[in-house]
Structure 1
């Protein structure tokens, strides 16, 4: 929550006395209008009847719809605060994001919608300067819109197609591609995710390319080495057929077959000699002849 400067405290005291309100109520409305860029506010304070909305030159809504005295009181204090903010503004208000918190709490419970703090990036002497005001990379320049929700900050730079998001101490910069961003949301519950709205509807922030994190560009992952292509059955069959037709393999097979035949002949000759069908001399001559062929 922004802190009031001495000038801001003096304004709160003076307006509280003028309108018969506590300093807490005036401070609450001052911050609400400041967050609405000096022209609108969403508030929730018992001295204003609880929840309500105000827009300069437009509608004023309070919880007690037929309490016209309360409605007039809200309009008067809001107009005076808006004038004071305009008189103490040292730079133009910037645009703001419309943010929606779902499943969590933001000034209420359940699904609530609140104006993100677009004035966080502006300068107003009623508030103590934020030491972390310009938290995005300097080279991005001045954002078109800024906002904050649930400890997450946003800064949108439409002209350079960049979006800066601060989560904790990390500053992420995204390429917004051709999206025209108009708002942000956070889904709470069984896991938190950040979404934004554009001309394409609701989009998950994780779908945008990351340009840098804390000023360092992401390192692209090293591609895994390609696995060797598996041989197809047809190629294996062709390879086997080629191997079967290899002259050297055919020669080896013929040689092995011939050796087996010679040894088989020797065994048969030995059997004939034992039975007395051939003499020892005939056997030796045949054996020498066959062995010479090995």
Structure 2
């Protein structure tokens, strides 16, 4: 379950008591509203009729589509949660550029002109770039000469993210990919953005060694004479920290660890 600050925890408990909902249900809705930037939410909460959508000042849809009382409850709840999010620190601070952050996109892209989410997909629009996060994977696209004015997700068996530009509706899949997965896998100067502990951030070897290890370019393979056994173990430990922070997958970590151990 999503971790909350003490303030957030107390606010959720109060709302849970007033609305007659479980603590978990309120947290689920809080996260949904937060993911929608405080203006919309897509949720799947059994206590609130299952799947539904909410838009601030707009239409509220719930699983029991003719239950106006439930719609009013969801609308009031989401409006209250949006106000809480705007005026309180309810989630622990997560470094920008990581998936758990509201600023989940690569930080070198700057500030987006617009952001949003649809189901399990989030997007952020930048000059000449579109960042998309789906199921924990971030992909950055080159928007070429398109001037994006809106993004929508087509529902159906083959969901695809599309956007509106001066040239009409364009599928995101038609755009060139700049980077995939996590930006630190391909942009070495972003690697240390995932360091959340002081010990890791203070180690200069993280900035120099980790990018070389994570690259797929065989020309940058580690030279066995460069590192002692202790240095190699330190590198593996730092890779493990990057894996725990979400910068590496388990498969990538195991691959790099095996390559390092073979060089001892």
TM-score by length of 2: 0.52
Aligned residue number for residue 162 of structure 1: 129
1:143 aligns with 2:107: no
Work out the CA distance in 1 between the residues paired with 2:34 and 2:152.
Answer: 19
Residue matched to 2:84? 84
Any conservation in 1 of the 2:131–2:138 contact (CA below 8 Å)? Answer: no
- Indicate if the aligned counterparts of 2:30 and 2:81 stay in contact, CA closer than 8 A: yes
Q: CA deviation at 1:144?
A: 1.8
Distance 1:196 1:53, change over 3 A: closer
> What is the CA distance between 1:47 and its match in structure 2?
1.3
Partner residue in 2 for 1:23: 23
SS in 2 for 1:25: helix
Count of paired positions? 176
- String of CA shifts for 1:257-280, please: whole Å, max 9, x gaps: xxxxxxxxxxxxxxxxxxxxxxxx
Residue in 2 that maps onto 1:254: none
CA 49–198 in structure 1, closer or farther in 2 if over 3 Å, else same: same
Question: 1:47 & 1:188 partners in 2: Cα distance?
Answer: 25
Partner of 1:178 in structure 2?
146
Equivalent pair of 2:60/2:71 in contact (CA under 8 Å): yes
Q: Which residue of 2 aligns with 1:292?
A: none
Query: How big is the shift at 1:146?
Result: 3.8
Q: Is the 8 A contact 1:195 1:204 kept in 2?
A: yes
RMSD: 3.8
TM-score (norm 1): 0.48
Partner of 2:53: 53
Matches of 1:193 and 1:75, distance apart in 2:
27
User: Cα distance, 1:10 vs. partner?
Assistant: 1.3
8 A contact 1:34–1:85 mirrored in 2: yes
Give the 3 Å change call, closer, same or farther, for CA 6–156 of structure 1 in structure 2.
same
Query: Are the counterparts in 2 of residues 175 and 209 from structure 1 also a CA contact under 8 Å?
Result: no
Q: 1:37 to 1:164 in 2, by over 3 A?
A: closer
Alignment partners' CA distance in 1, 2:137 and 2:13: 36
Task: Map Cα deviations across residues 229-277 of structure 1 (whole Å, 9 max, x no partner).
Answer: xxxxxxxxxxxxxxxxxxxxxxxxxxxxxxxxxxxxxxxxxxxxxxxxx
Report SS of the residue matched to 1:41: strand
Q: Say if 1:142 and 1:21 are closer, same or farther in 2 by CA, change over 3 A.
A: same
Structure 2 portions without partners, runs of 5+: 189-264
